[in-house]
Amino acid sequence: MRKRHGSSWRGCVVGFYTSSVTTEGYCVESEWEPGSVQIYPWGALERIPAAS
Q: Exactly one of 17, 26, 40, 48 is catalytic; which is it?
A: 40
Write the CA distances from 18 to 34, 43, 46, 47, integer angstroms. 23, 13, 18, 19
40 is catalytic: yes
Q: Which of 17, 26, 39, 48 is catalytic?
A: 39
- 39 noted as active-site residue: yes
17 carries an active-site annotation: no
Q: Of 3, 17, 26, 48, which residue is the catalytic one?
A: 3
Distance CA 40, CA 45 (A): 7
Catalytic residue among 17, 26, 38, 48: 38
Catalytic residue IDs = 3, 38-40
